[in-house]
Structure 1
Amino acid sequence: MRVLCVSLVALSMQISTAAEAPPQGNLLIAGGALRPDNAVVWQRLVQLAGGPGARIAVMPSAAGNPARSGANLAATLNKYGASAFVVPVAVRFKDRDYQKDAEDETLAKSIREAGGVYFTGGDQGLITKALVRPDGKRTAVLQAIWDVYQKGGVIGGTSAGAAIMSSTMYYEADTVLGTLSVGVNDGKELAPGLGFVGTDLFVDQHLLARGRFARMLPAMLKKGYKQGLGIDENTAIIINGKRDVEVIGYQGALLLDVSRATRNASEKDFNLSNVRISYLDRGDRYNLLSHEYTPAADKVNGKLDPANPDTDEQVYSADILGHNTVLVMMEKLIHNARKEAIGIATAAPGDPREDLGFEFKLTRDAESVGYESAVADAYTILNLRMDVRPLHITRPWYR
């Protein structure tokens, strides 16, 4: 059972300070399930922290067994050339007082002198509980982490360590479909994160593996985000101060833009039209401010010609929230003579709204662009249109 440790109002007030200069550092945000053999991600983290021998503070605050998790992460980083150390600030550290540890100036100093900080996975609520004071202000340790970021260091994290990067994070959401059918609320499904990525971008993780692109939408609408980045497992994005995004690792990330989206207010259930959905593959770069895309090296000459599609087939799925399904549909649509794809999501038995499902319609229009890799069966897809509307689901006539 997760427990919020500070009031939402107080926590949201502490996220940023108006007098602070914009951070000079980088963020490395991994989508969860980051394998220890994913050399490109770990090596990049060490590089951003200062190169071989770089001091990196490991924060196991989210972990169920922080001693074990912290030691393993430090060992992994050291294998890739870092000089990593564990910061023992976690609610579940045995025989320690996390509130006292979070105000320890010796620990804060050790972090401040590091070139990077890395948050492990686990329960993101435990991170904010350990690092934020009851009045919503930053503890000494959290302020030291911000100091690393502001002076040019790297802040990294995976899974729960990715969730806290946003000013808002998912906290206690039961199912992806439930966030659409029942809605999201502050203090339950949503809670304030630590806000390293700023207030203009929503970040989510385990994206393609768990179909979480759908749950990004109600959170973004609720909190006023126009852009959201969902990172897949064993994959990371790097964001610098110029708002350049680079994708590294195993797969990629979904970019959602709701700046032009509209809702039918006469329909009581969740609906949304003209969301723009893009898939950024590994090696791709994208600027969140200018919306300029720079293809990975293997896609430089791989822009698809919409006048010469490779296929002419219907694209449909009865489970668009399934593992990787939305990406497969996007890939099939981007070089298809057909312009539309339909995916359905239905409730599981026992869900609060068993009668409610959703249709996700993907449309390739004049703004949609695709790039194909020259060396692998991989694509980048930019600016498909996505419309979401509710469906009435009839249960079986008899049981």
Structure 2
Amino acid sequence: MRKLAIMVLLLSLIVSTSLVGTITWGEDVQETGSLVIVGGALRADNDAVYEAFIERAGGDQDAKIGIVPAASGSPAKYANLFVEDMVTRGLDESQVVILPLAVKDDSKTQDVDESLWSDNGNSAEVVQMVENLTGIWFVGGDQLRITEILINSDGSNTPVLDEIWKVYNKGGVIGGSSAGAAIMSELMIAGGDSLNALRNGYTEDFDTASMDYQNEGGLVVTEGLGFFSHGIVDQHFDRKARLGRLVVTAYDNKEIWSHAYGVEENTALIYDGRLNKISVAGTGGVVILDMTYAKKDSGYTGIKVSYLEGNDQYDLAMNKAEMDADKYTTIGYEYMYTQETLWGGPMSPSQRFRDFIAFELVDNEAKSKVSTYLLDEALSGYEFSFSKAEDTEGYWGQSGAADLYSFENVALEIQPIDLMVKMDVQKSDKSYKVVAGDVLWKIAEKFNITSEALIELNQIQNPNVIKVGQILMLP
């Protein structure tokens, strides 16, 4: 384990237990460019996203694209894949350049050591390569590698980053997927999972030898590149269940940014600076958290959640959704009447974030509230409750036989919870309640049984974790 020097910034941002942004970003600039922020796992056949990027770069005749492969462990491979994606969509290879910005060598490219590019953020030659480009694309991987190469150790911009900013402020487009999305906001989420973020908050200790810290452990936040100044952005949002970690980060910074944005995979949040609006392209959607009236005690209350997809837009100046005019409102006209409570998970219907709220709540007359759970092996964790509020609205449409759904202002509450699973009484009519000081082998010895039998009967995943009050069935 090691502590990155960049985390010194984090210490300056922490007040008590909350992270508060104090970064100074220099003189205000008029944002005239566009952003194509992809939530990761961008498929090669996602024409809507690629075309949105190319169009904002000047179209297939005039676009001049620079690719930043710094985040990837295989910089050349993924940069060249994006070159192919551009050429497939009408650009000539001469219109696309791979910028030599990387910190990790790809052993498969034997003719070049990409790790030698690690100081190129300050290279005059690379600055010249960026001049006159109309679009910049950041490939996915580890977002800390991007900030490492484009932000100096003293926190100042490298000349290459300043030149990329010029591309943006002249009306160009900045795009990126996964790590390339995470770097877009001023405060960047770099790692951690939702359960640890809610339970333990932030961490300074993480191992960058692998990218495991991105998906597990305490919350890691640091400085991003700041192209999207309207809130914090998170990616891989639905598949990696990142709602919890975004809530923690957004709440601690809500006095700076009242809204936060989660982008689903194979989907782009598109920001047009001249219009100051968000639109969506791709197969999923964008989750918007309104933290204006959020409060924190043992959990979180007062959060409002909206979801955009397809032809929906969001006006950032008004903080107001502009839903697809072809959709019908659902509140008061609900199609479903489903009373059963659903827990969510791979064995349940409505597994997607959108579907869980749309089908089970906003288009369901029988329900005013639905809940799902984030739990550890001891069934301790958090309940996520979504409710209809006075200003909640759902929007339904169709594309062929497929349902289209959006919603706005669904109330979200997150509270700690401990659950107990009632065992099948046919397996045993005897039980034992765990008390302070108990360990599994002592309980087994007390009842003259083996630890293995106790583990199997109670389906215990981790024999070292039992909780006070937990009911153990006995043979």
TM-score by length of 1: 0.89
Asked whether the 8 Å contact 1:6–1:132 carries over to 2, the reply is no
Q: Deviations over 1:332-351 (max 9, x none)?
A: 2112122111212211x3xx
Compute the displacement of 1:28 (Å): 0.6
Match of 2:412, SS state, is strand
Match status 1:179 vs 2:209:
no
Equivalent residue number for residue 81 of structure 2: 72
Residue number in structure 2 paired with 1:232 = 264
**Who wins on radius of gyration, i.e. which is larger?**
2
1:132–1:142 Cα contact (<8 Å) kept: yes
- Structure 1's 166 and 95: CA in aligned 2 closer, same or farther, altered over 3 A? closer
Q: CA deviation at 1:14?
A: 11
Selected match of 1:361 from 385, 388, 391: 385
* TM-superposed deviation, 1:142: 1.0
Moved more, 280-289 or 14-23: 14-23
Cα offset, 1:291, TM superposition: 2.4
**What code does the residue aligned with 1:177 have?**
L
List structure 1 runs of 4+ shifted beyond 6 angstroms.
Answer: 10-15, 320-323
Aligned equivalent of 1:339, options 368, 372, 388? 368
Q: Paired residue for 1:373, among 380, 397, 406?
A: 397
More moved, 68-77 vs 244-253: 68-77
8 Å contact 1:202–1:227 — kept in the other structure?
yes
1:102 aligns with 2:121: yes
Identity of aligned residues (%): 29
Secondary structure of the 1:260 match is coil
Contact 1:213-1:254 within 8 A present in 2 as well: no
* Whole-angstrom CA distance in 1 between matches of 2:168 and 2:342: 43
Once the two structures are TM-superposed, the CA of residue 50 in structure 1 deviates from its matched residue by 0.7
- Report the counterpart of residue 59 of structure 2 in structure 1: 51
Q: State the distance in 2 between where 1:38 and 1:344 align.
A: 32
Q: Secondary structure at the match of 2:415?
A: strand
Instruction: For residue 135 of structure 1, report the CA deviation from its aligned partner.
Output: 1.2
Task: Classify 1:171/1:129 alpha carbon distance in 2 versus 1 (closer, same or farther; 3 Å).
Answer: same
Count of aligned positions = 384
Most deviating of 31-40 and 136-145: 136-145
- Are 1:23 and 2:38 counterparts? no
Instruction: Tell which deviates more after alignment, 36-45 or 374-383.
Output: 374-383
1:319, distance to aligned residue in structure 2 (A): 4.2
CA displacement, residues 213-265 of structure 1 (integer Å, 9 cap, x when unaligned): 2211011122333211101000001112243000111111111111111223x
Query: What pairs with 1:3-22 in structure 2 (closer than 5 Å)?
Result: 4-6=4-6, 8-9=8-9, 17-22=25-30
Q: Deviations over 1:245-290 (max 9, x none)?
A: 00111111111111111223xx3xxx11121011111221011221
Task: Summarize the Cα distance change of 1:15–1:25 in structure 2 as closer, same or farther, 3 Å threshold.
Answer: farther
Q: Is residue 369–residue 387 contact of structure 2 (8 Å, CA) maintained in 1?
A: yes
Runs of 5+ consecutive residues of structure 1 not aligned to the other structure: none
1:125 Cα offset (Å): 0.7
Counterpart amino acid of 1:229? Y
Residue identity opposite 2:472 in structure 1: W
Q: Is the 8 A contact 1:251 1:281 kept in 2?
A: yes
Residue identity in the other structure for 1:24: T
1:292-349 CA-to-partner distances (Å, cap 9, x unmatched) read 32223542xx122x333222223634346999443222112112122111212211x3
Partner of 2:47: 39
TM-score (norm 2): 0.75
Partner SS state of residue 59, structure 2: coil
- Unpaired stretches in structure 2, ≥5 consecutive residues: 14-20, 106-112, 206-218, 421-469
Residue 20 of structure 1, CA deviation: 4.3
Q: What is the alpha-carbon distance in structure 2 between the residues aligned to residue 78 and residue 297 of structure 1?
A: 35
Distance 1:273 1:284, change over 3 A: same
Which protein, 1 or 2, shows the higher relative CO under an 8 Å CA cutoff with sep ≥ 6?
Answer: 1
Q: Per-residue deviation at 1:140?
A: 1.5
Q: Name the CA shift for 1:336/1:160 in 2 (closer, same or farther; >3 Å).
A: same
Offset of residue 40 of structure 1: 0.9
Tell me the residue number matched to 2:357. 330
